[in-house]
């Protein structure tokens, strides 16, 4: 009987345990699983190349999981003679606080000794907290610096325009060395021209150019006088101490003639007598930027007048030059004394045409004046004799 009671007790206990097991399992599944603490460290550039005599700064990032941690920093395998400093917040540090589910940044500055040999150097950064640790391998390659060298290039070395055009060139200046440079720009331009430079939209003659970098330089050339048509060489120099480069450019001025008519004394007037030829000096000048070729002369004169030119045609008047011609003007035989207008015209084989009005004053002939005076004197004498003769009676 006693044994039967014990067996029944054990059976009841087994049934109870079997019934509670699923409930306990469900309760355990509903509880969150804790993430074990861990620490991660990395950098964007684990392998870097620097020149001899340069220092390097590497940015390290740390992340914590499971709990916030204080990570103590160290280096393993740092080359002999190298100096390493961990920095944060502008100060040297030995440890960094890494918040949970966030990151912390640390700068590692490496100072290389003088005379370090070229080659690749490997070492490891370690971060250790009270619950986790992390490592990050780094590699620094030291090589000899490339000598300073500048190149200056453009795709369009020739620009064409009129004398009042602003000639614009776009060039690329590249620093092919391993050292930063301060570049100064100068130019050689023909007399009467000027050149200005722009970098990043700002007018300048000096700017920094980082190692192995290039910048776009805008070059503007303008004539301050009225240049004749032709090609004008422009040279731009880029100097940066031991490195220099030059760029050869060409400004091509395409001009046109500009005729002007005047007189040697500046007065567009002359005297003439009816029926008699008068020689009037006329100056034909070319104030344009291209030669005036095949200049023909003509005139518009009053009725019954004649105007001829000597020479009648000018083969060429270079830009900035002038030619003097003679206009032979003959008023009409019965021209009344007074002022008359004669229009002188000059035209070229192209489209250049100019005209000027000359005032010609026709005067009475001196001979007729003498005859008139003589006739008046005779008339006065006749009247005087008549008075004397008939007055006595």
Which CATH number goes with the domain that contains 335?
A: 2.60.40.10
What tokens were used for 146? 């490339």
Residue 66 lies in a domain: yes
155-182 residue pLDDT tens: 999 999 988 889 999 999 999 988 899 9
pLDDT of 258 reads: 87
Residue 6 lies in a domain: no
Residue bearing the bigger pLDDT, 237 or 254: 237
118 shares a domain with 77: yes
Residue 268 lies in a domain: yes
Judged against a pLDDT cut of 60, whether residue 31 lies above it is answered with: no
Mean pLDDT of 215-231: 91
Residue 245 lies in a domain: yes
pLDDT of 392 reads: 52
Choosing from 83, 110, 143, the residue where a domain stops is 143
308 shares a domain with 216: no
Q: How confident is the model at residue 102 (pLDDT cuts 50, 70, 90)?
A: confident
Q: How confident is the model at residue 146 (pLDDT cuts 50, 70, 90)?
A: confident
Residue 393 lies in a domain: no
Q: How confident is the model at residue 225 (pLDDT cuts 50, 70, 90)?
A: confident
* Domain limits for position 288: 259-366
Residue 233 lies in a domain: yes
């Amino acid at each position: 009987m006693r044994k039967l009671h014990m067996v029944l007790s054990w059976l009841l206990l087994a049934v109870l345990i079997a019934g509670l097991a699923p409930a306990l399992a469900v309760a355990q599944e509903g509880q969150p699983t804790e993430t074990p603490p861990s620490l991660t460290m990395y950098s964007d550039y684990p392998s870097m190349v620097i020149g001899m005599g340069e220092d390097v700064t590497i940015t390290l990032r740390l992340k914590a999981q499971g709990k916030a941690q204080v990570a103590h920093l160290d280096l393993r395998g740092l080359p002999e003679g190298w100096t390493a400093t961990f920095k944060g917040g502008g100060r040297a540090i030995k440890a960094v606080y890494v918040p949970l589910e966030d990151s912390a940044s640390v700068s590692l500055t490496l100072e290389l000794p003088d005379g370090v040999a070229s080659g690749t150097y490997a070492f490891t950064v370690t971060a250790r907290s009270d619950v986790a640790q992390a490592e990050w391998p780094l590699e620094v390659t030291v090589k000899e610096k490339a000598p300073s060298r500048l190149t200056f290039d453009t795709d369009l070395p020739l620009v064409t325009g009129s004398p009042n055009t602003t000639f614009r060139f776009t060039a690329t200046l590249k620093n092919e060395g391993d050292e930063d440079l301060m570049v100064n720009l100068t130019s050689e331009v023909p007399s009467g021209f000027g050149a200005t430079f722009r970098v990043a939209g700002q007018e300048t003659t000096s700017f920094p150019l980082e190692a192995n970098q290039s910048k776009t330089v805008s070059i503007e050339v303008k004539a301050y006088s009225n240049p004749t048509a032709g090609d004008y060489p422009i040279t731009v120099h880029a100097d940066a101490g031991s490195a220099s480069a030059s760029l050869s450019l060409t400004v091509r001025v395409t001009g046109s003639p500009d005729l002007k008519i005047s007189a040697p004394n500046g007065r567009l007037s002359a005297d003439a007598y009816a029926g008699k030829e008068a020689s009037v000096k006329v100056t034909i000048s070319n104030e344009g930027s291209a030669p005036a070729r095949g200049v023909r002369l003509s005139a518009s004169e009053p009725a019954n007048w004649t105007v001829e030119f000597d020479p009648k045609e000018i083969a060429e008047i270079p830009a900035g030059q002038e030619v003097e011609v003679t206009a032979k003007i003959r008023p009409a035989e019965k021209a009344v004394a007074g002022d008359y207008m004669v229009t002188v015209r000059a035209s070229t084989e192209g489209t250049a045409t100019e005209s000027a009005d000359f005032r010609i004053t026709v005067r009475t002939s001196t001979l007729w004046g003498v005859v008139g005076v003589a006739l008046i004197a005779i008339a006065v004498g006749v009247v005087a004799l008549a008075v004397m003769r008939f007055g006595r009676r």
